[in-house]
Chain A
């Protein structure tokens, strides 16, 4: 491209200003990526939730239990294919900061209902034969360096007095859905029932119901809640997607925060770069006039200005996204599972780069049009 030297020479005219403008783009794109990653992490549960699954919790709160006896009643409702139940264990490995979710599972139905979380058959069989066995998600296994055959102590204070429960790692599960949760730790209901105090026995945390078809979602949810109506354990049943979305809402309106902060950042960036480009064009209006005098047409002048702003936007954008690609995994590890997995997806990268391009063009457009419309004789008269 024969105009390259002219465009780049103008770009590097004020090096400090160039660095600061690119820096502002980089910071904005980094922030954009980070916010999008956090939003994605919170929404992922809802995004990848099974359309044919319902979650039933105690109507008062998820921390209130439900009786195990509901399982058979739910299973008899038309449209229900399978039912499994879970309890929250709430233990820690070695120290408080090593947090990850541990669930007591119903071994008979877990794989049928949560079919996307896959465990190799031989590992599953070993788990079933081992009363103290555990299946752990690949991400958690990697985090702590666990492998099959390891014996793992988990401290728990939720059920009676503080105690350390010992588990054998019998298997590692993977999710077959991109971004699926691979942080869970499962162990057997029988082992749990055996060790918890009498007051906790026979209670489950929540039920997950697999439907014959997503079309049954409304009728089955109503049937479950009707079944439990006017009892000591009334239920609230909703689709897994609604449940995940409700869970996210407990943290506040993440979507609103992300969109608001993102919009403010980009609007500010637009003002900053627009002002920078306007100053840059104003400073060399005489040079642009000379270009027009010697035969460069209006479109060429607009092209030069837009090329500069777009180049700044692209370099800054790529820098910001590159930083995000480095920082997000590090941040995910530092958070130690406090948030769902932080994933910087291709969609976020494309959206970020697209936004940078739009801001780059928008910020160069007004000064560029001004330069394009400038009358040569007027500009030369200013010298």
Chain B
């Protein structure tokens, strides 16, 4: 169950307490996130919405260990990541986080197979084991036949599927999706959301997703609204969609 009041149990997969992030620009402090609390359980599918500059991506970066907060803590599966060294945080990301970005961010000179294999290069798996994992991940996203294609030979939707395969291939603790359908047409966006939903429903993945699109947000179990750096009451995605 997702909570934003800071009263979640210690059993939550992700616990965020009093999280704050302040940037200093032009001599002025900009408080992007303020005293933010969040509890997410395993298998939850959470969508974050909010206007540009509200701190959605910053929150995602903090949850994924890509950035460090100004104050507060983030604890994932018992690991308090906010005070980890950069090196430990990198290793932690490899083990626990799968990233899916708006622009897919595939390496253009690598094939779909090689792109998906990247996270596994950091493990001790043998070549044969890596191949098996990659083939499975590509099969899950429906691109088993396109593993030798380069990103330029794939459509936007297919590229994002490869990116999803890359995110799930090492079986991370949770997935962070930053506008995963932001660069796709409606049909492709629906297909990608179908896939992400399936990862949650069939494979029990925990997904935290930032989106501007209320239709996309409706796929999530719950939508949290970020305004001026503050997580406001969770409301039913349907009602938010209706507002827009």
Q: Taking beta carbons and an 8 Å cutoff, which residues of A are in contact with B?
A: 2-3, 5-6, 9-10, 12-13, 286-287, 290-298, 376-377, 380, 383
Contacts and interface: CB of A to CB of B under 8 A. Distances in A.
B64 interface: yes
Contacts of B61: 377
Contacts of B114: 5-6, 9
Given A292-B90, A295-B90, A13 B121 contact: no
Contact of A294 (B99, B108, B127): B99
Given A9-B114, A298-B86, A383-B103, 17 more contacts: A2-B121, A6-B114, A287-B108, A290-B107, A291-B118, A292-B90, A293-B64, A293-B99, A294-B93, A294-B94, A294-B99, A295-B94, A295-B122, A296-B90, A376-B66, A377-B66, A383-B105
25 contacts: A2-B127, A5-B110, A6-B110, A6-B118, A9-B107, A9-B109, A9-B114, A13-B109, A286-B105, A287-B107, A290-B99, A290-B107, A293-B66, A293-B99, A294-B93, A294-B119, A295-B94, A295-B95, A296-B94, A296-B122, A297-B90, A297-B91, A298-B86, A380-B66, A383-B105
Interface string B46-88: 0000000000000001001011000000000000000000110
Interface-centre pick from A5, A6, A294, A297 (highest chain B CB count, 10 A): A294
A9 B67 contact: no
Q: Is the interface of A mostly helix, strand, loop or mixed?
A: helix
Contact of A10 (B101, B109, B127): B109
Contacts of A383: 103, 105
A2 B130 CA distance: 11
Contact of A293 (B87, B93, B110): B93
B133 interface: no
A190 to B, nearest CB: 77
B166 interface: yes
Contacts of B166: 294
Interface-centre pick from A3, A6, A10, A292 (highest chain B CB count, 10 A): A6
A6 B121 CA distance: 10
Nearest to B114: A5
Nearest to B107: A287
A13 B110 CA distance: 10
Nearest to B125: A2
Contacts of A3: 121
B119 to A, nearest CB: 5
Contact of B105 (A5, A12, A287, A296): A287
A199 to B, nearest CB: 80
A273 B26 CA distance: 37
A370 to B, nearest CB: 16
Interface-centre pick from B87, B94, B109 (highest chain A CB count, 10 A): B109
Which 9 pairs of residues, A with B, have the shortest CB-CB distance? Answer: A295-B94, A9-B109, A297-B90, A290-B105, A377-B67, A376-B66, A295-B122, A13-B109, A295-B93
A297 B107 contact: no
A12 B110 CA distance: 11
A380 B95 CA distance: 21
A6 B107 CA distance: 9
A295 B119 contact: yes
A286 B61 CA distance: 15
Contacts of A287: 105, 107-108
Contacts of A10: 109
A286 B107 CA distance: 9
A351 B82 CA distance: 49
B110 to A, nearest CB: 5
Nearest to B120: A2
Contacts of B103: 383
B118 to A, nearest CB: 6
Nearest to B64: A293
Contacts of B109: 9-10, 12-13
Interface-centre pick from A12, A13, A291 (highest chain B CB count, 10 A): A291
Contacts of B127: 2
Contacts of A376: 66
A71 B99 CA distance: 91
Interface string B163-179: 00010000000000000
A314 B107 CA distance: 25
A376 B62 CA distance: 12
Contacts of B86: 298
A282 B70 CA distance: 29
Nearest to B60: A377
Contacts of B110: 5-6, 9
B135 to A, nearest CB: 17
Contacts of A295: 90-91, 93-95, 119, 122
B24 to A, nearest CB: 15
Contacts of A12: 109
